[in-house]
Amino acid sequence: MGDFASLNLGGHVGDDPHAVESNRTLVADAFGVGRDRLLFMNQRHGSNVVVVDGPWQGEPPEADALVTTSTDCALVVLVADCTPVLLVDQIAGVAAAVHAGRPGLMSGIVGRAIDAMTDLGARSISAAVGPSVCGRCYEVPEAMRAEAARVSPAAAAVSWQGTPAIDVAAGVVEQLRARSVAVQWIAGCSRESEELFSYRRRHRTGRCAGVVRLLDPHQEHDAHPEEEHQIRGQV
C-alpha cells in the first residue's frame, strides 16, 4: 500500500520486510525456482561483475552485474529509475542481469558483463533493456552531460525545460549495439509512469525488477518466447 503499493522487491527502502519477502517468493514461484535461487545483489553503482552458480552463502555480494550458466537460478536487478539490462545467449547457455545507472554507464558495467559472458562461451547475445528515467526527466549540469557524451554520445539529451540532461538507457543501448548485441528496448519512463517506481518522482518508494532465467533445453520446446528472457516489474 501507499509508497510500496504493488510488487515492491526492494529490501532496504522502508517497506515491511515480511511483505517484501512474500513478494520475492511470488517472483521465485513465477520463474520456477526456489526462493533461495532467486538471486539479488548488493548494488553499488559500480562496475563489479559476479559469476554465480547457486544460492548465496550469507549476504549477497557487492556487484552491479550477475552472470550465470546455471538453469536453476534466476538473476535479479532492482531499479527505481536506473536501467535494468537482461542479457542471454540461449545457444551457449549464459545469462546476466545488469544494473546500469549513470555511474554504471560511465564505468562500462554493460561491457564488463558482456566480457564475463564471453569468457563463459557466449557468442550471440541478446538484450532486454527495461524502462528507466528518460532523458527529458534526468536534468544534470552541462559538465556532467558532456562527460557522459564522451563515453556514449547517445546519452546526451535535453530535458523538458531545455536544459542539459542524460538519457542513460540510450547510452546503454548504444554500448550494447557497439558490441553486436541484439537489443529489445522496452519503452517507458519511470518518472512519468505511475505504474513504475521512481526515486526521482518520490524518494520513499519501492523497487521494480528485471529477472532472467536460463531454461533447460527440454524446457525450451514448451516455453513461450517471452519466458526465455523478460523484464518483470510491478503487477
User: Which pLDDT tens digit goes with each residue over 120-145?
Assistant: 999 999 999 999 999 999 999 999 99
- Overall pTM > 0.95: no
Copy the grid coordinates of residue 122. 557466449
Amino acid 206: pLDDT? 86
Q: How many domains does the chain have?
A: 1
Residues 138, 195, 224: CA angle, nearest 5 degrees: 110
pLDDT exceeds cutoff 80 at 27: yes
Copy the grid coordinates of residue 159. 530535458
Strand partners, 51: 67
**Residue 63 falls within a domain, yes or no?**
yes
**Residue 145 falls within a domain, yes or no?**
no
**Residue 152 falls within a domain, yes or no?**
no
**Residue 153 falls within a domain, yes or no?**
no
- DSSP line for 132-185: B--GGG-B--HHHHHHHHHH-GGGEEE-TTSSEEE-HHHHHHHHHHHTT-EEEE
Amino acid 4: pLDDT? 84
**Residue 49 falls within a domain, yes or no?**
yes
The residue range of the domain holding 85 is 2-136+183-232
Amino acid 202: pLDDT? 85
Amino acid 219: pLDDT? 59
Contact of 96 with 75, CB cutoff 8 Å: yes
**Residue 222 falls within a domain, yes or no?**
yes
If you count them, how many residues does the chain have? 235
pLDDT exceeds cutoff 70 at 234: no
Which CATH number characterizes residue 56's domain? 3.60.140.10
**Residue 94 falls within a domain, yes or no?**
yes
Contact of 39 with 60, CB cutoff 8 Å: yes
